[in-house]
Chain A
Amino acid sequence: MKSLEELRAIKEKMQSQVNMRKPEDKTTRIVVGMATCGIAAGARPVLNTFSDLIQQNKLDSVEVTQTGCVGLCQYEPIVEVYEKDKEKVTYIKMDAERAKEIFEEHIKKGKIVQKYTISTASLK
């Protein structure tokens, strides 16, 4: 190592990994249903997509976790987004692509992606 820049580069690279270990206040929580029904419907790629995007974009205040069966197995994979002082938003029938869309629109810009929410999406 020759310079401070090189040191900073290593720090950048490690940041996402280490920052997860700070029990700080998170303002947003993304919860992916990972019961048997969720996993069978393809919840794991959804979970991993969110997790990767959060870390790549260094959004330390956003937490991605799993939960068990939400009780609406036919709509799995289900993703719930909890934001501080806001109502919970439930997205259904997720996949990795849709997860990216939700990340870009909802998580980054704060715009709920209505077409995937449980209240408006086609329930068939």
Chain B
Amino acid sequence: MFRSQVLVCGGTGCTSGGSTKIVEALHAEIAKNNLENEVNIVTTGCFGLCANGPIVLVYPEGVFYSQVKVENIATIVSEHLLKGRIVKSLVYDETLDKDAIKSLNETNFYKKQHRIALRNCGVINPEDIDEYIGTGGYEALGKVLTSMKPEDVIQTILDSGLRGRGGGGFPTGLKWKLARNIVPNAPQKYVCCNADEGDPGAFMDRSVLEGDPHAVLEAMAIAGYAIGATQGYIYVRAEYPIAIKRLEIAIKQAREYGLLGENIFETGFNFDIGLRLGAGAFVCGEETALMTSIEGNRGEPRPRPPFPAEKGLFDSPTILNNVETYANVCQIILNGAEWFSAMGTEKSKGTKVFALGGKINNTGLVEIPMGTTLRTVIEEIGGGIPDGKKFKAAQTGGPSGGCIPPEHLDIEIDYDNLVAIGSMMGSGGLIVMDEDNCMVDIAKFFLEFTVDESCGKCTPCRIGTRRMYEILEKITKGQASMEDIDKLEKLCYHIKENSLCGLGQTAPNPVLSTLRYFKDEYVAHIKDKKCPAGVCKDLLSFSIIPEKCKGCSACARVCPVGAITGELKKPYTIDTDKCIKCGACVSTCKFGAIIKK
């Protein structure tokens, strides 16, 4: 038995920060100190606090080391693991209270979180099925198969109030009920998992798959039993190599244990799961396009109805749920529908995982009860905005969502509240923007993404989004007129109403919501030919304030085009015709003498 457990984050964030080397170094140092039989080293999934990775957590003390480097490992082993002296210089400063170590759950980042979907992420080794079983894994499947009827399972999910976590928010139980009943005696049905997380800035599905893959497999088997399916598919994007590797290992281990395959728990229930890798097309996150892609065809959506519950994969009744949705299912089965529905708001139950990104201190993954305010997420959990800048907006739902301005910071996050203010829950990407972000530029950024990702099947989306992009480009170049805003808005509604699938129907959202809350910025670009945030290059000009310039020539030396000239110890000047607005001079000047406006 081990007296100490050392958990090292093996999520994508910390892996790219070098955690694989840290694990190697730990093994070497542990061996050197003859501690192999006393200390257990575990590679886990994401802890959530990606901004402070690589992360090493030592139990039983619960000491949280952040931003660990390979060079630190020898010290941690010889001081902490051998002699019990916590290496305070490496401890995450929020857990350090004078000389005492605070529990992680007392830090601002974790205090208000409630982890259901992420409960095993950063706790167990995702490549070891025994660890998953040790935390109660596969008990829900056992319970369902041995003591519940399929109808009871569906009723439990319905009663829990669980809604689709991929963004749509459709009641999961209802989806299952339709798939069970709509086609009587269907010879084959399918359970699919949408792991084609494509929103820029969203990474919660990846983290669940990397940190707790068995939770998804188990939930899919439960769904299979509920709707009467024997085959499942996980559609995961090929850009997620760690998630794919861990899923493959998990499926293999589950098969070896007989938890996937034939006659599971000797109940006569058969269920198996296959992986299908997506090539990275955003449209394949749309359900009909995803299924078309699994079938081996080009990933393009088709009109609905018929809905997948009736005619889905290979024309059979199919359910498709998102990774995070599945990650909640086993806990609902084990703890009951009331337990789950006690959390959250009236119409949105449970928790939601958000990937915090952009201008925020604690970049990472958080899981909060529905109904938590956006202010809590950004200011407390997220640790606020770096460098004391002012909050301008938060973008949820990525290219399909909208932005939330400061006046709505106290909104309680749930599906319906976000839609009411012109945004959406989306899959859970939450990008924070500060005063240095230009909202027209942000809208253009998302439009550029949808223009790229439009599959081209229907005209409103294929051509409409491109026209929108062109208008936005005109605005950011200062060449637009006020009429263009009206055109843009009309085009938005036209695309929303006439596109074939969710991609086109939601593509105008970033533009509509920035127009709603930040119209003054659009007007400034058009009428004053100015970008208030100083982002749009064509509307900027750089100049040197003569009173502040010491004539040190530093700016002239870094200017790549030789636009700055002058005499030493006298104020320099910028030739705006030559200037390419790269900003190198601004960051070089020590006296704050160069301004852009």
List A residues at the B interface (Cβ < 8 Å).
1-4, 7, 10-11, 13-18, 20-21, 23, 32-36, 39, 44, 47-48, 50-52, 55-56, 63-68
Contacts and interface: CB of A to CB of B under 8 A. Distances in A.
Smallest CB-CB A-B distances: 9 pairs: A66-B84, A14-B134, A51-B3, A18-B134, A34-B84, A1-B258, A1-B257, A10-B133, A4-B142
B62 interface: yes
A47 B83 contact: no
Interface of A is mostly: helix
Given A16-B1, A23-B103, A65 B134 contact: no
Nearest to B40: A17
Contact of B130 (A10, A16, A44): A10
B104 A35 contact: no
Contacts of B83: 34-36, 39, 66, 68
A7 B133 contact: yes
A1 B142 CA distance: 11
B203 interface: no
19 contacts: A4-B265, A7-B139, A11-B134, A13-B130, A14-B133, A16-B1, A17-B1, A20-B59, A21-B123, A23-B62, A23-B103, A23-B105, A51-B2, A51-B3, A55-B1, A64-B60, A65-B60, A66-B83, A68-B84
B151 to A, nearest CB: 22
B3 A48 contact: yes
Contacts of A7: 133, 138-139, 142
B285 to A, nearest CB: 33
A91 to B, nearest CB: 16
Contact of B266 (A3, A23, A34, A52): A3
A63 B134 contact: no
A21 B1 contact: no
B82 interface: yes
A64 B59 CA distance: 10
* Most chain A CB atoms below 10 A, which of B3, B134, B258, B266: B3
Interface of B: 1-5, 7, 38, 40, 59-62, 82-85, 103-105, 123-124, 130-131, 133-136, 138-139, 142, 146, 257-259, 265-266
A13 B136 CA distance: 12
B38 A17 contact: no
Given A15-B134, A17-B40, 12 more contacts: A2-B258, A7-B139, A14-B130, A14-B133, A18-B124, A21-B123, A21-B124, A23-B62, A34-B84, A39-B83, A66-B84, A67-B84
A63 B84 CA distance: 13
B218 to A, nearest CB: 11
Given A2-B266, A4-B142, A64-B60, A56 B258 contact: no
Given A17-B5, A64-B60, A23 B134 contact: no
Given A13-B130, A20-B5, A20-B60, A3 B265 contact: yes
A50 B3 CA distance: 9
B324 to A, nearest CB: 22
Given A10-B130, A65-B60, A1 B3 contact: no
Given A1-B257, A2-B258, A18 B131 contact: yes
A63 B133 CA distance: 23
Contacts of A32: 84
Contacts of A55: 1
A108 B133 CA distance: 28
Contacts of A13: 130, 134
A11 B123 contact: no
A34 B38 CA distance: 14
A63 B63 CA distance: 13
Nearest to B64: A23
Contacts of B61: 63, 65
A63 B58 CA distance: 13
A21 B130 contact: no
